[in-house]
Amino acid sequence: MSQVSISHASTRVLHNKLTVETQSTEPPIYTLAEGKPVQDPTSSVVLRGPKVRGGALALLEDTQLIETLAHFPRERIPERVVHAKAAGAWGEFECTHDITDWCSAALFSKVGKKTEVLARLSTVAGEKGSSDTLRDIRGFALKFKTEEGNWDFVGNDLPVFFIRDPAKFPSLNRSHKRHPQTAVADSSMFWDFHNHNQEGAHCLMQLFGPRGVPASLRNVNGFGNHTFKFGKPEDGTFKYVKIHFKPDDGIKNLSEEDAVRLAGEEPDYHVKDMYNAIERGAYPSWTMMLQVMDPKEAETYKWNIFDITKIWPHKDYPLMPVGKLTLNKNPENHFHDIEQAAFSPSTLIPGIAPSADPMLHARMFSYPDAARYRVGPNYQQLPCNKALNTYSPYQRDGPMRMDGNYGSDPDYGNHIPSPVRSSFRAIRSGPADVAHDEWVGQVQAFSSEVTDEDWEQPRTLWKLFKTNRDDDKFIHNLASHVNKALPEVQKDTIRMWAEVDEEISKRLGKALSENQSKVDHQKAPPSQTALAKHKK
């Protein structure tokens, strides 16, 4: 993998020049939030005492002071539980290839068609103040604003994920974040989770391989991870699809040493790099490509095509280019455009539908639910999230309603007969959805088991690492992280990697034995009270 030299000059944020008022030579008058003009924004209404020099009593009648103080602690909305730190930008998608014979989604309706896009690229585990260059998955989220609604692409920079059972999702993320006792990231917790959920070995190899820390967000892949259905609702046909965004400038990565150095010197390195590139006109771009599978092939394919821990090999399903994504405009205000933005794989348009992937279904609930909590129940009305055309009078009221609340239109739904009309308000029906699957099955509790099939793709990736001479980097990156775990956790981790290849296990064990352990969280000896309770 290519390495890049780091220039401090490239990390300086280019500040926008002060905008010159062209409409009027008069500057705006400062007012309170409700519009009252104010003479001095720094003053407070006080009762000054004559005996003590400088002493005064602030008065509750001072609306400016109360407004200023009361708004300040409410300026922050809850940060995302994951994907808190991000760069973002506006751009456009251009359809470059005709797929209208098998997909009717609006953004692919004709070659040359352009669609506005909002992008948010993020780290996953770290909080908003964390370093950009930590070894972590990068989120790759896009909001396409089409005439038939918003389509959200919510993916990652790695092609597979750590788990495939949705009930494990909170535990996975907790294990990658902070220990509840020490409040610091903890390698023992991280590896203990993965030692007991070994279906994630393929994703761990991707994370600790040479692509674990990108040189720039402009040089990462964007994978949809899940399998989706692209189709033509009008005739009930569809294809299974895997979605890829490939950076036109290629994949570029940081060495472990450069990543660690930048974490201290320039913790916002990736955010600045993206902003600066767009400001100077070096617009980052990606080619959108699809892998396409006929539904009949899915019935007999060698792997479960809905398993998010597995890829579809390119030799079986080659990449098909369909369009180009270009980011060409920085946000005018990061909070307004990026922090309030909400993305969810449930945000779909006619022609694109979910597949039978339980992890996808869980995310389709969890993501908008998080947005309702974090931003509010009417988050879809904010400019960054607002669709081009909406009429949804059955979802109304609630705090911060901003669109007129549909006035006097009825707030209940009727079946739409033909000819189209309702009792008080004529409405038209939209197009049909992509064909639904037909199911005959049994309702049951289910958690997947790890089988030898789960080790096939990791073994192939290990052979690729050795062919590309990336095996030393992988072992080094792996050992550096496992080295901070408790000794008993390290032993389980060594045994896990033997399932991929005995060589990984032996080389990891040797690397750990040669380096003094730097455990993140030592086990505290049991207290006398705890011992007494145990004896009872």
Local structure of 534: helix, strand or coil: helix
For residue 113, the one-letter residue type is: K
For residue 381, the one-letter residue type is: Q
Residue (of 309, 60, 290) closest to 161 by Cα position:
309
What is the token pair recorded at 114? 């352009």
Would residue 314 show up in a list of annotated catalytic residues for this protein? no
Would residue 221 show up in a list of annotated catalytic residues for this protein? no
**Are the C-beta atoms of residues 225 and 156 closer than 8 Å to each other?**
yes
What is the token pair recorded at 75? 């300026």
Whole-angstrom distance between the N-terminal and C-terminal Cα of the chain? 59
Alpha carbon distance 142, 148 (integer Å):
16
DSSP secondary structure letters along 241-288: EEEEEEETT---B--HHHHHHHHHH-TTHHHHHHHHHHHTT---EEEE
Number of residues assigned to the chain: 536
Alpha carbon distance 439, 462 (integer Å):
38
**Are the C-beta atoms of residues 176 and 192 closer than 8 Å to each other?**
no
DSSP secondary structure letters along 424-457: SS-----PPPSPPPP-------------THHHHH
Is residue 367 marked as binding? Answer: yes
DSSP summary character for residue 338:
I
Phi-psi region of 35 (alpha: psi -120 to 50; beta: other; left: phi over 0): left
- The residue annotated as part of the active site, out of 150, 156, 197, 483, is 156
For residue 311, the one-letter residue type is: I
| Omega of the bond leading into 345 within 30 degrees of 0 (cis) | no
Residue (of 226, 209, 253, 305) closest to 500 by Cα position:
209
**Are the C-beta atoms of residues 141 and 153 closer than 8 Å to each other?**
yes
HEC letters along 18-79: CCCCCCCCCCCCCECCCCCECCCCCCCCEEECCCCCCCEEECCCCHHHHHHHHHHHHCCCCC
Residue (of 205, 219, 217) closest to 311 by Cα position:
205
HEC letters along 460-513: HHHHHHHHCCCHHHHHHHHHHHHCCCCHHHHHHHHHHHHCCCHHHHHHHHHHHH
Q: What are phi and psi of 166, to 5 degrees?
A: -60, -30
Catalytic residue numbers?
A: 83, 156
